[in-house]
Amino acid sequence: MTLNILSEGFVPLLLAASAFFVGILAGLFFAYSVSVVLALKTFSASAYTIVMQSINNAILNVAFGVVFIGSIAVPTVSASVVLLQGDWTSQYGPLVLLGTAIYLTGTIAVTMNIHLPMNESIATWSPASPPDDWTTVRTRWARWNHVRAIAAVISFVIYLSAIVSTLS
């Protein structure tokens, strides 16, 4: 027995909203990986510190906040609907659950557990005398950004696949 929470026509809309939010952050993290990370490799320690501090301050804005929270909330609601309606055996259900798991683990958990603590540390650095291990931090930050970018892109593609499967 399934609990029909939403009309069948609303499910593709909910999945599209999930893909929208996840896709925006996939694009952000991908663009960062293929441009900003490469530029940051060319900077001196003090320039790296100044730029990273500036980026980390600038990204804390309303638009990013709405998209970041939306990219957590909407896919979580989508996965909850799949579970509550018993749709995990449908064509789209497993895709939604997989896409959400990959996104929340590979993108959000990485951001919260790796990037935020590093950003908080970088915020304390003095541009005049960054720590001796600043290149290690830069390399680690970049590596984990690649991980979250890949996870977000994979999740986005999975959500698109889920949408297509609801239309057939």
In tens, the pLDDT along 47-91 reads: 999 999 999 999 999 999 999 999 999 999 999 999 998 888 888
State whether the Cα torsion 109-110-114-115 is positive or negative.
negative
What whole-number percentage of the chain has pLDDT above 70?
A: 95
| Residue ranges of domains in the chain | 10-167
Give the pTM: 0.91
Whole-number pLDDT of residue 38: 96
Does residue 92 contact residue 79 with C-beta atoms inside 8 Å?
Answer: no
Whole-number pLDDT of residue 1: 43
Whole-number pLDDT of residue 40: 97
The identity of residue 25, as a single letter, is L
Residue 128, phi then psi, degrees to nearest 5: -75, -25
Between 3-7, 9-13, 45-49, 132-136, the lowest mean confidence (pLDDT) is in: 3-7
Does residue 21 contact residue 156 with C-beta atoms inside 8 Å?
Answer: no
Whole-number pLDDT of residue 86: 86
Q: How many CB atoms within 10 Å of residue 56?
A: 16
